Every structure is written in structure tokens, then in C-alpha cells.
Amino acid sequence: MFPNRWSVVGVGLWIVVLVSIVGCGGSSESTSQLVEMSDASGAQDPGSVLTNTPEIAGLIKAEDPGAVVASVNGASITAGQVTELAQTNKIRLRAQGMNLPDGADQELMRAALQMLIDGELMIQQARKDGVELPAEEIEAEVQAARAQFASEEEFANYLRDAGMTEEDLREEAERRVLMRAYQALVAKGQKVDDAMAREVYDANPELFTEGEQVRAAQILVRTDQNDPPAKRQEARDRIDEVHSKLEKGEDFAELAREYSQATTASKGGDLGYFPRGVMVPMLEEVAFKTPVGESSPVFETIYGFNILKVLEKREPELKPFEEIKPLLMVELARMMQSQALQAKLLELRADASIQILDEGLGSDPEPDPEAATVTE
């Protein structure tokens, strides 16, 4: 079967989302939290009915894809479903440049199983409640799946290799549409007004403050740590020549255009504004300690020999409420919808018969109290 469009979003992660409004980031110590954060920050959703994505190193595979690893009120969840969804989440995290820790695959599989369990609970409840299935949405899902392939032959080959039929594909599309409709039903009425947004803004000014930033220009002469001594000396002589010209009053931007081997050379070396934590440590250290209008001494990073000129600096700034408000209200609404869905899932789990048959995926069917299953 194909991975379902289910993502874990912890209620506590709303702070991470709010911080992202002003361009700051967050980090996490566990893989499950990384999955949550990637979803909450609006990363690309893997959940089209088909996932036509190139394999990456460290593919997560099931020894027996058809083995039943859990059941939800008698409905089976297979090892193949779990590993495919875990692999999809792994691709997403890698695409964001995240370095996954040792043991991440097992955590990704546990998180995937919980997503699948929650999804099955929602689908079962939606059918029990008689939630309608818009035919046009189902057809759109199917066509979106087809569109991922260059030809009908390629599409047919994919289905054959996956052991699926077009009817299986349509059934999966129906499940996805049904789950989204149920989520929308649960979230209905969760609204945010100006007063609520203002209260959050006033109570958490640190979340909406853009940190200190510096605008600098760079001249880089590239080297590699493994270069022979003669080549490194040649690069050092070149950057020393640039530094000498700067001391004589020659224009930094013109020298950058002539000498720099960085991609910013054509712009006079201008790196634009950047906060702490985004550049290599040595470059950042030099940039923030060099006074505005002055050039730095020669220094070395992993990319080679560098000279910086600091063009401007910005002090930390609290973003105005009116600038923050539109996105803040959207994210608060998402957080409230997530809370509503979390509460509903806790009810569904309490009334459900959930069995996890694979000890490696955890034997406790109770959800993390800080997590809820939602979709964009």
C-alpha cells in the first residue's frame, strides 16, 4: 500500500511554529520530534497517493512487507505500510538537510505506526459518522497519482511492481479524502480572533523578535585542507595581495569582483544580512566582531582564505504586531485544530481495540499526550 498523508504535530510545537514566523529556527533531540517539526514548518508533504521519489541511502525495508504488525478494531496494519511511511518521512527530513541520529530508523518506524493507527481510527469513525466522500476530490487524487508518471506504461509498471491494481489506488484515494474530511469536521469552529493573537504576541515578545543581524561582503580564495602545500601557499599569497590592496585604500567591491572565488563575487562579495547560527563559525565570529565599515584581517575557513568587510548591522528588533498578525493567526488556528484533533483521537483510542503485535514497534497503544495526528 502507499503511504498515507498523516503527520505528527505535537501541541507544544506551536512555539516552534511561531518562532518560524520571524525567521528563527528550532532543533530537536529525537527523530520523532524532527518529523513533527518538519510537518509543522510547512515542509513538502509526501502524501500524494503515490510516492514517486528516488531512493536514498539507508532505505528502510521490511523483511516481510505483508506481516501484520498491528490491528485497529480488527483492521490490519502491515510492516510494508509502516516501513514505506517511515521511509517517506526519512526522505523529507534528509531533503531538509537534517542529520538523523543513530537509531533513527526505528524511531521513524514507531512514529509511522502511530500515524497509521491514528489514520485508521479517523477513517473508521468517519465511516461510522457517515462523512460524505466528494467524488471530484477522489478523482483529483487519482489523477494526481497518474500525473507523477511520464506515461501510462510507466504508471502501469509502477502499480504492477507494487502489487496493486487501479482499484486499490482508488480505494487508497477514498481513504485519504475521507480522513481529510473527518479532520475538517473535527477542526470546524476552531477560530482565532485578533484579541487572542494579540494576547499571544504580548505575552511572548521574545518569539517575535528578530535577532541581531550583520550585512557583510566577502572575498574568498578557495583552498582545500588536502591541497598540497604549494597550492595552499599560492592561495595565501593571493589573499595577502588583496589584503595589501585594501590597506592601500582600494575598493573592496571591485577587488571582490576581480579576486573572489565565491558565488557572490559578481555582487562585490555582498552576502546580504544574516543572523547568528547560519554561517560557518569562524566567518560568523569575524563578521559580528568587526566594526561597521572596516575590513577584517585574513582568516581561514573550510572553504579557503577569507576577508570580510562589514557593511551594516541591525540590532534585535521586535516585529510590529500588524506585520506578524496574519501569519500568527493562521498558525494559532492550526495549533487549535491540532488540539481539537488530539482530544478526539484520545477519545477514539480509549474506545478502540488496538493491538501492536511487533514488540520492536512498542507494545503500548497509548499516544504521546503531546502529539496529535493532522494533515495539511
Whether residues 125 and 43 share a domain: the answer is: yes
What's the domain count of the chain? 2
Q: How far apart are CA 200 and CA 243, in angstroms?
A: 50
Which of 294, 315, 336 delimits the end of a domain?
Answer: 315
Q: Which of 315, 339, 357 is at the close of a domain?
A: 315
* 132 vs 220, more confident: 220
- Whole-model pTM: value is 0.57
Domain CATH code at residue 38: 1.10.4030.10
Question: What tens digit of pLDDT does each residue of 157-196 get?
Answer: 988 887 888 898 898 899 989 998 999 889 887 788 899 9
**Nearest residue to 117 via CA among 371, 349, 369:** 349
Is the pLDDT reported for residue 18 higher than 80? no
Residues 179 and 220 in one domain: no
In a domain, 2, yes or no: no
- Give per-residue pLDDT as tens, 284-298: 999 999 999 999 999
Q: For the chain, where are the E strands, in sequence order?
A: 7-10, 68-72, 75-78, 209-210, 213-222, 270-275, 299-301, 304-314, 317-318, 354-356, 371-374
pLDDT digits over 324-335, tens only?
A: 899 999 889 888
What share of residues in the chain are helix, strand, coil (percent, to 5)? 50, 15, 35
Q: Are residues 187 and 291 in the same domain?
A: no
Domain termination residue (choose one: 293, 315, 337): 315
| Residue 292 structural domain | 212-315
What's the confidence (pLDDT) of residue 123? 93
